Structure 1
Amino acid sequence: MRVEGTFTTHDFAPAEIAPAFEVDTAVPVGVARMAKRYDGGISGRSATIFTSAFDPATGIGAYLAMESFTGSIDGAEGTFLFTHSASTTGTDLFDRSFAIVPGGGTGALQGIKGSGDIVVGASGIHRIHIDYTLD
């Protein structure tokens, strides 16, 4: 099944981490946490851990995010986890990935599996779709 929705991001805050040891790379690495609110066939909110390697001067980099979602998918209520990532050269997105974490669902979303995508339109609206199955 496919479900679609939109989302907004709130409470973006850098998080301090201490790496196992320092490595000096050409693009700095950062971690942040944020909250998201979803509307549509995907309705609810998520707590997100966002890791990026990004050069603001050039717009080049990549991100990896882990989201803990609570709400409903097509009316089925529960929680689940998903990951997503992408790379950019400043004007594009490539190597995009989106996956539901196996075994992470609860309630009516227990047993959820699937993949999806996140797209930010020219108007700035963030859209998500998930292709999923429920055991």
Structure 2
Amino acid sequence: MRISGTFTVTSFVPTELKPEPEPAITTALPVGLATIVKAFDGGVVGRSTTLFTAAFDQESGVGSYIAMESFEGALDGREGTFNFVHSAATRGSDRSVEFFSVVPSSGTAALAGISGGGGIAVDEDGTHRIWFDVEF
């Protein structure tokens, strides 16, 4: 079943990343780490906390990210928690090489047994959309 909603980022906190052992490896795009909190509305209602890693150039908008999210709330009225992971690349105005998956065995309460995938899209007006194609 497909369950859709929108989300807003309520907190984005960059965190210093220090690779071990030293010296660090320098590439053409800086690698960063942040924690994110999101609020969801629609068929997806709740909040998530996210560990977000990216190699990204702020000026050109080029780069890639990977995110691990812990969700608490309801999908189509089913309440519980679960994890999902997603990643994508961008050349500044697009999304490509996308990956989105519910983490197996991560669901609790009415979301226990959740499996599947989904996706994220950003509208031209900046609205962030999310959908889950899942089974229980």
TM-score range, shorter-chain basis?
over 0.9
Percent sequence identity over matched residues? Answer: 51
Looking at structure 2, the residues matched to 59 and 90 of structure 1 have their Cα atoms a distance apart, in angstroms, of: 4
**For residues 65-104 of structure 1, what are the structure 2 equivalents within 5 Å?**
65-104=67-106
Looking at structure 2, the residues matched to 110 and 35 of structure 1 have their Cα atoms a distance apart, in angstroms, of: 22
In the TM superposition, what is the alpha-carbon distance from 1:20 to its structure 2 partner? 2.1
Looking at structure 1, the residues matched to 127 and 59 of structure 2 have their Cα atoms a distance apart, in angstroms, of: 24
Equivalence for 1:129: 131
Equivalence for 2:36: 34
Give the 4+ runs in structure 1 shifted more than 3 A. Answer: none
AA at the equivalent of 2:101: A
Residue ranges of structure 1 left out of the alignment (5+ in a row): none
Looking at structure 2, the residues matched to 38 and 116 of structure 1 have their Cα atoms a distance apart, in angstroms, of: 15
Match of 1:118 among 117, 120, 123: 120
RMSD (CA atoms): 0.9
TM-score, structure 2 normalization: 0.95
For these two proteins, the number of residue pairs brought into alignment is: 134
Equivalence for 2:14: 14
Looking at structure 2, the residues matched to 117 and 87 of structure 1 have their Cα atoms a distance apart, in angstroms, of: 13
Looking at structure 1, the residues matched to 34 and 91 of structure 2 have their Cα atoms a distance apart, in angstroms, of: 21
